[in-house]
Amino acid sequence: MSEEKKSFRDSIATTDEHGRRLWIYPTKPKGKLYSARTYFSWVLLLILFGLPFLKIDGHPAMLLNIIERKFIIFGIVFWPQDFHLFVLATLTLVVFIVLFTSVFGRLFCGWACPQTIFMEMVFRKIEYLIEGSASSQKRLAAAPWTFSKIFKKTLKHSIFFGLSFVIGNLLLAYIVSIDELVKIITDPPSQHMAGLGFMFLFSIIFYGVFAWFREQACTVVCPYGRLQSVLLDNNSIIVAYDHKRGEERKIVKRNEDFSNRGHCIDCFACVKVCPTGIDIRNGTQLECVNCTACIDACNSVMDKVNLPHGLIRYSSGNIIEKGGQFKFTGRILGYTIGLTFLLTLMTVLLVTRSDIEATILRTSGTLYEESDEGIIRNLYNLSVVNKTFKDVPIELKLKHKDGKIILVGNSAVVPLDGRFETVFFIEISKEELYSTNNVITIELISGNEVLEEVTTNFMGPR
């Protein structure tokens, strides 16, 4: 590769050699893949905006309340006590991402990432609608501030801010639930200063990202993008330029015969359409979000010069170099085995997960008491978390031992979606004990069902 062609490595496409921002004006994509992505984005947007409204038994189907550390995923409540599940789920997700990326490259970025969906399928389309094509946008940016320019820019940014406000509210609905969001909007502002503050903050952040920061979220900030160089290998399916077919590239002459030259006619259609401003013909680059716009652009050029589609296509480095089909490598097999193991473990833990979680500890700083009749008494603290959406009355019962449990207070009902705490005594006859430190098991019962068994210690005399 010539030194001139290698210069793309010196800086990212969105900055000049002095590090100043270069604004990208991509040509509006057109083609089969762009249409497919548009329809797919409608489905994803519907899911994204519909999920906060979906309820199961009157409760949100999805809630990611990081403030109160409470999560509801498809109707199942997760508490801080389920932290081990959270760690395992994160680990599974990481392995899934590694596996998925090593096979399909950045397919997720181009087709399903909310940043790409909102930027390319919502904000960018509004921009084309108001400011026109890429060249019109460029002209408008360079033009003096006439009435027409002020009108177009004000209209665009007002709509952008309105949409950012809606997206900010959507995010808030995922965090605090849609009902709480409605309260924040309808109650007097003084009652929800924090909620309103976050609403404003999210709106500003989203406006900043979609109106100004744009593709830099993918090329500079996104950690997934940064990981591409270690996740991809020569067998990964990526958006790739077939350099064997395309080179030696040169501008086409009228009625030129392609049998003795490369198929790339150096028209730059693939570069002009790229939302991250790169030239895919330079090979796989970190900035490529696999949006497929260059595939559509090149295919339409190939139509014009009567050549087959696919000079830029989904393919792997090895397939382009050596031909053949996608290979299931040892690396993929290893990840698949790891992922299957984690998914199985996750499923078992979820299925066997208890709806009630109890912690029983001897009250610290207390000793046992002994009555004249030889009954030994210990004091305990009980804390029970109810992960369901109904109140659960509970009873405590000693297992394998004769003895009595005396709860402080009349009834023990764990409130729905909440925690119950109390203290209680356990009385056991001295004859039942075998040492100073006896292991005992307590059953938590609701109705006829044993919800949980907790093992703890019971102190006694020598």
In the complex, which residues of this chain contact ligand SF4 (CB under 6 A)? 239, 241, 246, 249, 264-270, 273-276, 278, 280-281, 288-294, 297-298, 301, 311-312
**C-alpha gyration radius of the chain:** 31
Nearer to ligand SF4 by Cβ, of 113 and 385: the residue is: 113
For the bound state, the minimum distance from the C-beta of residue 49 to ligand SF4, rounded and expressed in Å, comes to 25
For the bound state, the minimum distance from the C-beta of residue 45 to ligand SF4, rounded and expressed in Å, comes to 20
DSSP 147-187: HHHHHHHHHHHHHHHHHHHHHHHHHHHHHH-HHHHHHHHHS
For the bound state, the minimum distance from the C-beta of residue 323 to ligand SF4, rounded and expressed in Å, comes to 20
- What are the φ/ψ torsions at residue 60 (nearest 5 degrees)? -60, 140
The 10 Å Cβ neighbour count of residue 143 is 10
For the bound state, the minimum distance from the C-beta of residue 252 to ligand SF4, rounded and expressed in Å, comes to 9
- Report the C-alpha gap between 249 and 441 in whole angstroms: 78
DSSP 174-185: HHH-HHHHHHHH
Q: Are 110 and 296 in contact (CB under 8 A)?
A: no
Nearer to ligand SF4 by Cβ, of 79 and 241: the residue is: 241
For the bound state, the minimum distance from the C-beta of residue 282 to ligand SF4, rounded and expressed in Å, comes to 9
The 10 Å Cβ neighbour count of residue 365 is 6
Please, which residues bridge with residue 55 across strands?
Answer: 60
Q: Are 326 and 237 in contact (CB under 8 A)?
A: yes
The 10 Å Cβ neighbour count of residue 376 is 21
* Residue 248: partners with Cβ closer than 8 Å, 6 or more residues away: 261, 262
Nearer to ligand SF4 by Cβ, of 31 and 460: the residue is: 31
Nearer to ligand SF4 by Cβ, of 252 and 433: the residue is: 252
Q: Are 167 and 117 in contact (CB under 8 A)?
A: no
Nearer to ligand SF4 by Cβ, of 171 and 280: the residue is: 280
For the bound state, the minimum distance from the C-beta of residue 253 to ligand SF4, rounded and expressed in Å, comes to 14
Q: What is the DSSP letter of 209?
A: I
Residue with tokens 């030259």: 261
For the bound state, the minimum distance from the C-beta of residue 314 to ligand SF4, rounded and expressed in Å, comes to 10
Nearer to ligand SF4 by Cβ, of 27 and 102: the residue is: 27
Nearer to ligand SF4 by Cβ, of 199 and 218: the residue is: 218
104 torsion bin: left (phi>0), alpha (psi -120 to 50), beta (else): alpha
For the bound state, the minimum distance from the C-beta of residue 265 to ligand SF4, rounded and expressed in Å, comes to 5
